Amino acid sequence: MAILVTGGAGYIGSHTCLELLNQGFDIVVVDNLINSKAESLRRVSDITGKEFKFYKLDLLDEELLETVFIEYDIESVIHFAGLKAVGESVNVPLRYYYNNIISTINLCKVMNKFNVKNLVFSSSATVYGTPDHVPISEKFPLSAMNPYGRTKLVIEDILRDLYVSDNSWSISLLRYFNPIGAHESGTIGEDPNGIPNNLMPYITQVAIGKLKELNVFGNNYPTVDGTGVRDYIHVVDLALGHIKALDKMSNHSGVETFNLGTGKGYSVLEIIAAFEEVSMKEIPYKIVAPRQGDVPICYADASKAQNELGWVAEREIKLMCMDAWRWQSQNPNGYGKDTLITESEKNPGLIIKSKDFFVS
């Protein structure tokens, strides 16, 4: 029996693959590599000393996806695959709706056909829109302020409808707050294409000298120092939350929603200070106008995940900054050129093994 991880070459997916392998799960990974490199998976194999199968595959291709279910005895699916850039989603909404929603529908159709009904889905705190107050619990009203966020809302609805139609499904909707940091080895991490949209990768690229200075989006919010407040969560804690969700669904059907956050909020200036302290790098910044669509303050009430999954985020903010910096400083150009892309194109169902087995 194996866990299928969609989008497993990506930032959160690769960290989750690593933790799954460490805990003895068999995994199969599918990803079309539109926003990632298969090199991340080779490094996951290196760190864990384990092999697993990888399919370079687009979830929009339902027939191809079926071949994976034919070949493997899949017991559960963790579904990370999706496009995630908020700004881009405003410019190309149809691409976001098509990719994120149709690929999820395809996945559910194939799962249904093969009687696989355990699904963990990557949702987002973005589904809370602008919350009335904080901390945000799962019961808060839902709304979205951009096409990306609406794809998450629509998919959550689709999955709730699916459960209503067939009560044997077990579905976890995990609403992530702001994932940052990297595995402690510094060999896997977040590798954004082009100029980063998110705060932490922007800061690390300023620290490494690739970007001149950070633009701080607004300093007039009703927060501790006027800058936006977020609930930053270490990506390894987030990965472990998925394994707790898998445990729960092994003896439970239903649709359950969980916030995965720390319950603590930090301002942009507090993040800069924490990063500077652990990296001993100065982060030059300037205050600019607020970014359209940003909420002033957002952090989780994560008590449901604690009570029902037995999960708590343990890694604190300085460790998050230190791990993000270790990844960036050891990999100034991220994963670099992906030697596995052609390999995986020639060989569907490529076995990902550690470095020694590959000529790069």
Residues binding ligand NAD (CB under 6 A): 7, 9-13, 31-36, 58-60, 80-84, 99, 103, 122, 124, 176, 179
9 binds, among ligand WQD, ligand NAD, none (CB under 5 to 8 A by kind): ligand NAD
Nearer to ligand NAD, 96 or 221 (CB): 96
CA distance 73 to 3: 9
Helix (H) or strand (E) holding 340: helix 340-346
Question: How many C-beta neighbours within 10 Å does residue 188 have?
Answer: 25
Nearer to ligand NAD, 90 or 287 (CB): 90
Nearer to ligand WQD, 77 or 199 (CB): 199
Q: Give Cβ neighbours of residue 9 (< 8 Å, ≥ 6 apart).
A: 29, 31, 33, 36, 37, 38, 40, 41, 54
User: What letter would DSSP give residue 312?
Assistant: -
Min dist. Cβ of residue 24 to ligand NAD (A)? 23
Min dist. Cβ of residue 99 to ligand NAD (A)? 5
Min dist. Cβ of residue 185 to ligand NAD (A)? 18
CA distance 175 to 5: 17
Min dist. Cβ of residue 23 to ligand WQD (A)? 25
Catalytic residue status for 97: no
Nearer to ligand NAD, 191 or 223 (CB): 191
Nearer to ligand WQD, 114 or 217 (CB): 217
- When binding is defined by CB under 6 A, the residue of 147, 228, 263, 265 that contacts ligand WQD is 228
Compute the C-alpha angle 306/309/310, nearest 5°: 55
Pairing of strands 74-79, 254-260: unpaired
Q: Which stretch binds ligand WQD (CB under 6 A): 12-20, 131-139, 212-220, 337-345?
A: 212-220
Min dist. Cβ of residue 75 to ligand WQD (A)? 27
Nearer to ligand WQD, 40 or 126 (CB): 126
Nearer to ligand WQD, 128 or 169 (CB): 128
CA distance 307 to 34: 37
34 binds, among ligand NAD, ligand WQD, none (CB under 5 to 8 A by kind): ligand NAD
31 binds, among ligand WQD, ligand NAD, none (CB under 5 to 8 A by kind): ligand NAD
Residue 136: strand pairing partners: 300
- When binding is defined by CB under 6 A, the residue of 97, 98, 114, 217 that contacts ligand WQD is 217
Q: Does 197 bind ligand WQD (CB under 6 A)?
A: yes
Sites for ligand WQD among residues 96-155 (CB under 6 A) = 124, 126
CB-side neighbour CA atoms (13 Å) of 254: 9
CA distance 236 to 259: 15
CB 199 within 8 A of CB 179: no
268 binds, among ligand WQD, ligand NAD, none (CB under 5 to 8 A by kind): ligand WQD
Among the residues of 31-166, which ranges form H helices?
Answer: 39-48, 62-71, 86-91, 93-96, 103-113, 147-165
18 binds, among ligand NAD, ligand WQD, none (CB under 5 to 8 A by kind): none
Q: Does 294 bind ligand WQD (CB under 6 A)?
A: yes
Q: List the structure tokens of 360.
A: 């790069």
Q: List the structure tokens of 48.
A: 């864990």
Q: List the structure tokens of 81.
A: 């695959």
CA distance 270 to 225: 9
The residue of the chain with the least Cβ separation from ligand WQD equals 228
Q: Give Cβ neighbours of residue 111 (< 8 Å, ≥ 6 apart).
A: 69, 74, 77, 117, 119
Q: Does 264 bind ligand WQD (CB under 6 A)?
A: no
CA distance 325 to 206: 11
Q: Is 221 left (phi over 0), alpha (psi -120 to 50) or beta?
A: beta
201 binds, among ligand NAD, ligand WQD, none (CB under 5 to 8 A by kind): none
Marked catalytic residue, from 55, 96, 128, 148: 148
327 binds, among ligand NAD, ligand WQD, none (CB under 5 to 8 A by kind): none
Q: Which residues are catalytic?
A: 148
